[in-house]
């Protein structure tokens, strides 16, 4: 306690051992000494008014003139304001401080005890193991947290910022020097090099890794917290947001991922985490690895049942009827992990299973059922295993029961091997969902009924997200209808929606006639799929013209041909905005 006693008893406070480190003037140091005297006598908190009136004359309110000194001590970080409502020290006025309660900061207490705030740097020797390396890196992240807190809650001129930033830089240099001396494998460093992560991306990764090791509340996972951690100002916050967006290196290389969570005010935020494969390689580098999950792409290539479909658009990109969008948004909210936890806590669902969803999308061809299913899956960050149900009879004649089961058994096997839960998309499921035959006794009727009974059983026991698309809801067997949680209609687009579809799908870099009218084209009652086909056919026609300019007449001709359509068939094609 020699530095504490020296600070309290030295008649010339400027000659005390710690004065040079305080970076304040003599009067400010005297105020600090008075607060320290009160502290060691048992007063952990002191009223600013009381301290100033004890030190300075009351005549002519002389003590009020010294309020800026208290303000500066707060800004320097030597004392802390105890008012609960205080948000930013730098924003409070001097006069507001008169009735404030203050106490010694942790930094000042440490300075009084140890005579310095400089934390000793790790010894300059090679890292002996992975944990020793991580210990230094987590200490580094703690400094980032402290700097971020001060930067976003206190005055920017705070001495703490300079002190912590210097310590952070010194620690980073020492870590770098120790890494160069280390010959053994450090998994985190290997990951940084292999994926060419820049310094900011490295900090984001280390912050998430620290969360995994600490097991505390998810203080560093939230999107804005991570951005603040690496940002010095508002411009940086905008600039560095791209580091954790879908197109970023960390997300695209599947190093980290996120859950989208609803905020108290109805907004959406992201909570980030390190993907299991990378986390396991770091936390257990010497442990015999469990069989790694296999890539779903490779597994799908080895079988003939499913097509792997990779969604490119999210649900927000699809042109939908407002009622349909509202219902799908509601379903997405129900998929939230917080909802799953509540249902599990209430005993409504099994915690291990999560939330299941079985949906039927019904409506005319070309109204976007398949595209919406894919976009719905993209929003959930799920891959899609698609099965074309129209092929079931031609593929499986004579073995319908066995092969219908095989669809679901194969899905379960793929999900287990990849340790994922893809969306199962049953396209054109009319064959499965139509009403069962009761009067017929032919062999084909029996086979069809057996196939449907097996399908009904599999739907009943299915765990995960299943979407079936069909053109006609009226023909669906009642037993099937009861097994699905939602039946969602996809009606033909109205004029307003058709106008958006035309605007979004028309070639952006093409030339159009002077009086070209999208509004006129939107009057034709077409589905999104038909509009897409018409635009493609018209483009082929215009491309071979001597003067390749799009005209309304070109489109009208294509519209007439499409409406006549061979056999009245229309392709089921999705549409996006």
CATH label of the domain that carries residue 101: 1.10.10
Q: What is the DSSP track for 423-490?
A: EEEEESTHHHHBPPPSS--SHHHHHHHHHHHHHHHHHHH--SEEEEEES-STTB-HHHHHH-SEEEE-
Q: Of the residues 427, 456, 489, which one is the last residue of a structural domain? A: 489
Q: CA distances (Å), 389 to each of 78, 400, 427, 474, in order?
A: 72, 12, 6, 18
pLDDT at residue 21 in the model: 86
466 with 343, same domain: the answer is: yes
pLDDT at 146: 85
Q: Sign of dihedral through CA atoms 126, 128, 131, 132?
A: negative
pLDDT score recorded for residue 569: 44
Last-in-domain residue among 283, 314, 329: 283
Instruction: For residue 343, count CB atoms less than 10 angstroms from its CB and return exposed for 0-12, middle for 13-18, buried for 19 or more.
Output: middle
Instruction: Strands of 106-175 (E only): list them.
Output: none
- Examine residue 574 and state whether it is found in any structural domain, yes or no: no
Q: How many domains does the chain have?
A: 4
Same domain, 270 and 308: no
Whether residue 237 sits in one domain with residue 344? no
Between CA 307 and CA 170 the distance in angstroms is: 54
Please give the backbone phi and psi of residue 260, each rounded to the nearest 5 degrees, phi first: -95, 125
**What are phi and psi for residue 509, nearest 5 degrees?**
-100, 10
Domain assignment of residue 103, yes or no? yes
The pLDDT of residue 233 is: 86
- Give the pLDDT score at 573: 39
- Cβ atoms of residues 145 and 211 within 8 Å: no
Query: How far apart are alpha carbons 453 and 460 in whole angstroms?
Result: 11
Same domain, yes or no: 162 and 137: yes
Q: Are residues 303 and 339 in the same domain?
A: yes
Instruction: Answer whether residue 119 is part of any domain.
Output: no
pLDDT at 282: 86
**How many other CB atoms are there within 10 angstroms of residue 190's CB atom?**
13
Task: Answer whether residue 123 is part of any domain.
Answer: no
The predicted pLDDT at position 32 comes to 94
**165 and 50 both lie in a single domain:** no
Tell me what pLDDT residue 189 has.
Answer: 93
531 is a domain residue = yes
Does 416 lie in the same domain as 511? no
Q: Indicate the length of the chain as a whole number.
A: 577
Shared domain check, 503 and 484: no
Q: Which of 259, 283, 307 is the last residue of a domain?
A: 283
Low-confidence ranges of the chain (pLDDT < 70): 83-93, 153-160, 215-218, 261-268, 285-294, 349-355, 391-401, 435-445, 474-475, 565-577
Is residue 301 a contact partner of residue 560, using CB atoms and an 8 Å limit? no
Answer yes or no: do 472 and 500 share one domain. Answer: no
Q: Rounded to the nearest 10 degrees, what angle do helices 2-9 and 26-40 cross at?
A: 120
The domain of 246 spans: 130-283
Residue 289 lies inside a defined structural domain of this protein: no
Strands 79-81, 101-104: parallel, antiparallel or unpaired by DSSP? antiparallel
Query: Tokens standing for 508?
Result: 């952006």
Per-residue pLDDT, 401? 64
pLDDT of residue 395: 53
Distance, C-alpha 400 to centroid of its chain = 42
Same domain, 336 and 447: yes
- Per-residue pLDDT, 313: 80
In a domain, 367, yes or no: yes
Q: What confidence score (pLDDT) does residue 507 get?
A: 92
Contact between residue 548 and residue 341 where contact means Cβ atoms under 8 Å apart: no
Note whether 447 and 301 are same-domain residues. yes
> CA neighbours within 13 Å on the CB side: how many for 142?
9
- Establish if 576 belongs to a structural domain: no
- In this structure, the answer to whether residues 348 and 477 fall within a common structural domain is yes
């Amino acid at each position: 306690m020699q530095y504490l006693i020296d600070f309290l008893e030295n008649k010339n406070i400027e000659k005390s051992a710690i004065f040079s480190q305080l970076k304040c003037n003599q009067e400010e140091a005297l105020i600090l000494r008075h607060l320290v005297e009160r502290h060691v006598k048992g007063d952990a908190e002191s009223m600013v008014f009381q301290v100033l009136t004890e030190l300075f004359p009351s005549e002519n309110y002389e003590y009020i003139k010294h309020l800026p000194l208290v303000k500066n001590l707060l800004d320097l970080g030597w004392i802390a304001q105890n008012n609960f409502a205080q948000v930013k020290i730098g924003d409070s006025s001097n006069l507001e401080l008169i009735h404030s309660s203050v106490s010694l900061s942790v930094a000042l207490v440490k300075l009084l005890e140890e005579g310095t705030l400089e934390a000793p740097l790790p010894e300059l020797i090679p890292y002996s193991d992975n944990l020793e390396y991580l210990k230094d890196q987590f200490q580094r992240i703690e400094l980032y947290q402290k700097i971020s807190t001060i930067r976003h809650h206190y005055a920017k001129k705070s001495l703490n910022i300079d002190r912590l930033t210097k310590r952070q830089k010194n620690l980073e240099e020492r870590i770098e020097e120790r890494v160069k001396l280390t010959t053994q494998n450090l998994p985190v460093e290997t990951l940084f090099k292999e994926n060419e992560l820049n310094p900011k991306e490295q900090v984001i990764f280390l912050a998430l890794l620290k969360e995994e090791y600490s097991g505390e509340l998810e203080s560093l996972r939230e999107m804005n917290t991570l951005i603040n951690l690496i940002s010095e100002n508002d411009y940086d916050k905008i600039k560095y947001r791209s580091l954790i967006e879908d197109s970023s290196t960390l997300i695209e290389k599947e190093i980290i991922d996120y859950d989208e969570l609803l905020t108290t005010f109805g907004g959406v935020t992201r909570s980030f985490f390190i993907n299991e494969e990378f986390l396991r390689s770091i936390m257990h580098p010497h442990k015999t690895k469990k069989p790694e999950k296999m890539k779903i792409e490779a597994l799908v290539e080895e079988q003939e049942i499913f097509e792997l479909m990779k969604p490119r658009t999210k649900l927000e990109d699809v042109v939908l009827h407002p009622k349909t969008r509202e219902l799908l948004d509601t379903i997405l909210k129900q998929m939230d992990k917080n909802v799953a936890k509540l249902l599990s806590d209430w005993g409504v669902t099994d915690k291990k299973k999560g939330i299941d969803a079985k949906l039927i999308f019904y409506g005319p061809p070309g109204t976007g059922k398949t595209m919406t299913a894919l976009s719905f899956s993209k929003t959930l960050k799920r891959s899609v295993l698609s099965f074309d149900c129209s092929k079931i009879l031609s593929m499986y004649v004579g073995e319908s029961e066995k092969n219908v089961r095989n669809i679901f058994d194969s899905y379960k096997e793929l999900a287990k091997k990849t340790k994922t839960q893809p969306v199962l998309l049953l396209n054109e499921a009319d064959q499965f969902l139509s009403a069962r035959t009761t009067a017929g006794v032919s062999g084909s009727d029996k086979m069809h009924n057996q196939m449907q009974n097996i399908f009904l059983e599999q739907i009943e026991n299915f765990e995960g997200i299943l979407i079936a698309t069909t053109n006609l809801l009226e023909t669906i067997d009642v037993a099937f209808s009861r097994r699905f949680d939602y039946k969602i209609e996809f009606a033909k687009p109205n004029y307003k929606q058709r106008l958006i579809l035309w605007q979004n799908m028309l070639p952006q870099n093409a030339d159009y006639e002077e009086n070209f009218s999208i509004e006129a084209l939107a009057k034709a009652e077409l589905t999104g799929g038909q509009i897409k086909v018409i635009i493609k056919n018209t483009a082929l026609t215009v491309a071979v013209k001597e003067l390749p300019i799009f005209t309304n007449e070109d489109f009208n001709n294509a519209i007439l041909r499409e409406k006549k359509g061979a056999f009245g068939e229309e392709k089921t094609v999705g549409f996006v905005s």
